[in-house]
Amino acid sequence: MKQTWVKPFLTAHRMGGMNKFGAVRAQNHQSDIDGVEIAPLLEKYGSPLFIVSEKTLRDNVRRLRRAFATRWPKVRHGWSYKTNYLAAICNVLHQEGSWAEVVSEFEYRKARANGVPGSRIIFNGPWKPNDILELAAQEGATIHLDHLDELYALEQVACKLGKQVPVGIRLNFDTGYTDSWSRFGFNLESGAAKDAVQRIAASPWLKLTGLHSHIGTFVLDVRAYSAQIRIMTDFMEQVERDTGCVIEYLDIGGGFASRNALQGMYLPPDQIVPSFEQYAEAICGTLMEATKGRAAAGKPLPTLILETGRAVVDDAEILVTTVVGGKRLPDGRRAAILDAGINLLFTAFWYNHEVKPLRPLNGIAEETVLYGPLCMNIDVVRASIMLPPLNVGESLVIRPVGAYNNTQWMQFIQRRPAVVMVTQNGEVSVIRASEQLEDVSGLEQVPLALQQPFPQGIPA
Amino acid sequence: MNGQAVEFPKQALLTRLALSDSGFVFDPVTGNSFTVNTSGLSILRLLQKTEDWTDIIATLQAEFEVSYSVAERDVLEFATALRSAFK
């Protein structure tokens, strides 16, 4: 009887390469998502294919809410639209009680089109054009001012509408743990934030009701949030004392890490990424301590607003891709070419995504480079990963991919594929159809003189 | 496919390799050792005897469940790995 053919390979033995942490990832496979087989989905919807788990999405946001609501009496979650604004995903989260957190006119209108009332929209971002600012003020959205010009613009809008508009300001400051994102909001240390507060207090049209800040992204040290809370509550007490306003909420932005592996991160995500409970303990513990005198002073406890995006959606979505070719690189490494690249997986620039075959593969794992299908040198999905030999047609699951890929993906060289959702009851729904040529070229217009066949013909 | 066009490491270099049935490959001159899988081992053993392309592919097809085109493609790629490992 003939033996099964596995691609021939030869791997050199190298000494001294052992890792004392023994962090060799299990090379197991993933053939289903929430009990639904992936292979038939690929046949039906094509490869590559994004698959969202509704169950994981709901579980994640419920865990987030529970972690905070059991530690602080007033908690609100604003779903960060820019993390993933596919309507089905947004509406799962809105159904769970999350507000919409938007950062542009486009996102504001998207949230409204999803059915979110303006009064449940948190409006951030450095550019809010006048017409949308007016609509947001009319509809009672929670508006966070980013700079002085916006303050003046909103004041004019409020004057035009003839009503006082409640407003929050975005702060930036140094926590000592993360780089200060000083390009957004008013700086605390320089006094710009205090000046803005005084200007709002002097306006008959604006009323300061909230403070917002966002200290960074993929924040792994929970002490950074404790520092953020301390700084924000100190400022809250100061502005209330100075202007007589009442701060109703503190919005601490997002930044919680997901269980993804940042490039250059030594330990695996399971060991290094804090849980929601750890974040909540640090944030709510500090908040409790910093506000313990408020009840005695007759002031309300501020509502805690979270804008957690990445940690809620990242592991709720996978990308299934298929090997379309392979080669041996001159340095001896194996390379596989996939039908999905950085056009779909923007986050491959900073993550080492987990990659699992769809079925158990024969052969010993060896160092492999995973390239995307783009004719661009930068199209690298994984620069180095241990994988068994990969034949053409073999499918791989890349995860977690739920955060930022469906918003930052590009129609570049290739069309964007379908996104399907495995619902809680195991049904599969297309939540974004695969792009067709007409979807892309439909917006283009060709002047008559440039339409083929050319009246004067084509030079030989 | 013309086997003459495929460049494998020199046969003298390949014949000195100690090959074990378990896939352990030892080069007694350089001291380097390697692991090779079953198909790779078969190819190395064939290359110790012949460089005839037709023979190699035909023998592999006799030993393994593999089409001509797949065997040809994979041996071509394996030649790159061999040239890199045995210079």
Chain segment B40-49, per-residue pLDDT in tens: 999 999 999 9
Q: Out of A12-16, A292-296, B81-85, which region has the weakest mean confidence (pLDDT)?
A: A12-16
Measure B5 CA to nearest chain A CA, in Å: 18
Whether A388 maps to a domain, the answer reads yes
Last residue of a domain, which of A253, A285, A308? A308
Contact: A9, B75; criterion CB under 8 Å = no
Choose from B13, B14, B39, B44 for mutation: most chain A CBs within 10 A. B39
Q: Are residues A300 and A384 in the same domain?
A: no
Q: What is the model's pTM?
A: 0.90
Q: Are residues A322 and A294 in the same domain?
A: no
Q: pLDDT exceeding 90 applies to what percent of chain A?
A: 88
Q: Hey, what amino acid is at A300?
A: P
A7 and chain B in contact, CB less than 8 A: yes
Q: Out of A97-106, A219-228, A327-336, which region has the weakest mean confidence (pLDDT)?
A: A327-336
Q: Are residues A174 and A226 in the same domain?
A: yes
Handedness of CA A79, A81, A82, A85 (dihedral sign): positive
Last residue of a domain, which of A246, A273, A308? A308
Residues of A in contact with B38 (CB under 8 A): 3, 6
Whether residue A453 is predicted with pLDDT greater than 70 in this model: the reply is yes
Mean pLDDT for chain A overall = 95
Q: Are residues A128 and A262 in the same domain?
A: yes
Q: What is the CATH number of the domain that holds A419?
A: 2.40.37.10
Whether residue A25 is predicted with pLDDT greater than 90 in this model: the reply is no
**CA distances (Å), origin A213, targets A171, A387, B46:** 5, 42, 68
Measure B60 CA to nearest chain A CA, in Å: 9
Q: Are residues A144 and A280 in the same domain?
A: yes
Closest chain A CA to residue B80: A328
- Mean pLDDT for the stretch of residues A428-454: 95
CB neighbourhood size of A437 (10 A): 8
Whether A111 maps to a domain, the answer reads no
Q: Are residues A186 and A321 in the same domain?
A: no
List the Cα angle A256/A83/A252 in 5-degree steps: 40
Q: Are residues A144 and A257 in the same domain?
A: yes
Whether A449 maps to a domain, the answer reads no
A5 and chain B in contact, CB less than 8 A: yes
Closest CA to B69 of A392, A328, A368: A392
Closest chain A CA to residue B75: A8
Whether A57 maps to a domain, the answer reads no
CB neighbourhood size of A271 (10 A): 10
List the Cα angle A141/A145/A147 in 5-degree steps: 155
CA A106 to chain centre: 17
Handedness of CA A221, A226, A230, A236 (dihedral sign): positive
The reported pLDDT for the residue numbered A23 is 45
The reported pLDDT for the residue numbered A363 is 80
8 Å CB contact between B23 and B35? yes
Contact: A10, B35; criterion CB under 8 Å = yes
Whether A301 maps to a domain, the answer reads yes
Backbone angles phi, psi at A258, to 5 degrees: -100, 175
Q: Are residues A297 and A329 in the same domain?
A: no
Whether A87 maps to a domain, the answer reads no
Q: Out of A90-104, A176-190, A371-385, which region has the weakest mean confidence (pLDDT)?
A: A176-190
Q: Are residues A304 and A329 in the same domain?
A: no
Q: Are residues A294 and A361 in the same domain?
A: no
Contact: A10, B33; criterion CB under 8 Å = no
SS3 of residue A7 by DSSP:
coil
Whether A420 maps to a domain, the answer reads yes
Backbone angles phi, psi at A113, to 5 degrees: -65, -30
Closest chain A CA to residue B27: A12
Q: Give the domain range for residue A302.
A: 124-308
Whether A76 maps to a domain, the answer reads no
B26 and chain A in contact, CB less than 8 A: no
Residues of B in contact with A328 (CB under 8 A): 77-78, 80-81, 84
Residues of A in contact with B75 (CB under 8 A): 8
The reported pLDDT for the residue numbered A236 is 98
Last residue of a domain, which of A308, A341, A362? A308
Residues of B in contact with A2 (CB under 8 A): 62-65
A216 and chain B in contact, CB less than 8 A: no
Whether residue A122 is predicted with pLDDT greater than 60 in this model: the reply is yes
Q: Are residues A299 and A170 in the same domain?
A: yes
Q: Out of A105-109, A384-388, A401-405, A415-419, which region has the weakest mean confidence (pLDDT)?
A: A384-388
Q: What is the CATH number of the domain that holds A205?
A: 3.20.20.10
CB neighbourhood size of A223 (10 A): 13
8 Å CB contact between A173 and A180? yes
Contact: A2, B75; criterion CB under 8 Å = no
Q: Are residues A292 and A389 in the same domain?
A: no
8 Å CB contact between A8 and A339? no
Tokens of A407: 């918003």
| Structural domain count, chain A | 2
Task: Give A90's contacts (C-beta < 8 A, 6+ positions apart).
Answer: A79, A81, A84, A100, A110, A111, A114, A116
HEC letters along A73-102: CCEEEEEEHHHCCCHHHHHHHHHCCCEEEE
Residues of B in contact with A3 (CB under 8 A): 38, 63-65
